[in-house]
Amino acid sequence: MKKSILFFFLCISFLGISQTQNPTQNSSAVSFQKAEFPGGDNAYRNELFKMIHGYIDMSKYAVNGVFVFSFDIDVDGRTKKLSVSPKVKNSEMFIEDMLFCMKRIKTKWKPATENGIAVKTNYKIKINFISDHFDHD
């Protein structure tokens, strides 16, 4: 009986030891900083609208309302792979024109960082378009 009780306490003590965690494992938390445009989202919208008004004939598109621009920001702070929703008439041309305008912006993004290292990330921004042109098709 004494042997079985001793065996029981030894098993419990080994289980307790095996479930303790190494304190160095918990201290290695991942720090993530999301991408930023100098001046914030509003500064980016203003720059994008300057380029749109300077280079694009918006009468080709029926864009009214809020659109979500989703794009990648690479480790160098450049924008790539734009997608826009909701879709509009001539969506492919609209996306190409918007990507052209985005590339015309000379100010680079501050890329996202993970543990102090720049990483590629996806960024979404809402932009409200108001135009005089309506799609009546």
pLDDT tens by residue, 54-86: 988 888 877 888 999 999 999 999 999 999 999
Confidence bin at 131 (pLDDT 50/70/90): low
C-alpha torsion sign, points 25, 26, 28, 34 = positive
How far apart CA 83 and CA 128 sit, in angstroms, is 15
How far apart CA 133 and CA 30 sit, in angstroms, is 48
Name 29's Cβ contacts closer than 8 Å, sequence gap at least 6.
Answer: none
Average pLDDT of the chain, as a whole number = 80
Name 52's Cβ contacts closer than 8 Å, sequence gap at least 6.
Answer: 58, 97, 98, 101
Query: Per the structure block, which two tokens stand in for 115?
Result: 């543990």
* Residues 90-123 pLDDT 10s: 788 888 999 999 999 999 999 999 999 999 999 9
pLDDT above 90: residue 40: yes
Q: What is the reported pTM?
A: 0.69
Residue 71 β-bridge partners: 123
